[in-house]
Amino acid sequence: MFDDRNGELLGGVGLNQRNPMHRSANLGYWVRQSRQGEGIAARAASLVARFGFEQLGLIRIEIVTLPDNGASQRTAENIGAKFETLARHRLWVRGQPMDGVVHALIRADMT
């Protein structure tokens, strides 16, 4: 993600762990600290999710965050994703298993 006015790197967003059989993928995003709180992640994540549904034919997109990452969880909810579960040992972070908060988005959730 880049600022269209000055080319500044704002962060990143993308679909990963795509599963063609189940037509699903994970959505990840990050925003540089100096630009957090401006709604950048939500706007970019919404665009990428729409791309996933409309162009890739996905039927489900998951957003998995660490339990203490409230900002990313709010972003997921802001784009319409629904909280589903706290999945034990869902993530591998800094050499150890960590629980993950799972939100899911289906096309009908898009606002």
Q: Output the domain CATH number for residue 104.
A: 3.40.630.30
Look at the chain and report how many structural domains it folds into.
Answer: 1
Q: Is residue 92 part of a domain?
A: yes
In a domain, 2, yes or no: no
**DSSP assignment, residue 107?**
G
Residue 86 included in any domain: yes
Residue 57 belongs to some domain of the structure: yes
Residue 70 lies in a domain: yes
Q: Which residues contact 5 (CB under 8 A, 6 or more apart)?
A: none
Beta strands in the chain (DSSP E): 11-19, 24-31, 60-65, 82-93, 96-105
**For residue 33, what are the domain limits?**
11-109
Inter-residue contact 106 to 59 (CB < 8 Å): yes
Residue 3 belongs to some domain of the structure: no
List pLDDT tens digits, range 7-47: 999 999 999 999 999 999 999 999 999 999 999 999 999 99
The model's pTM is: 0.92
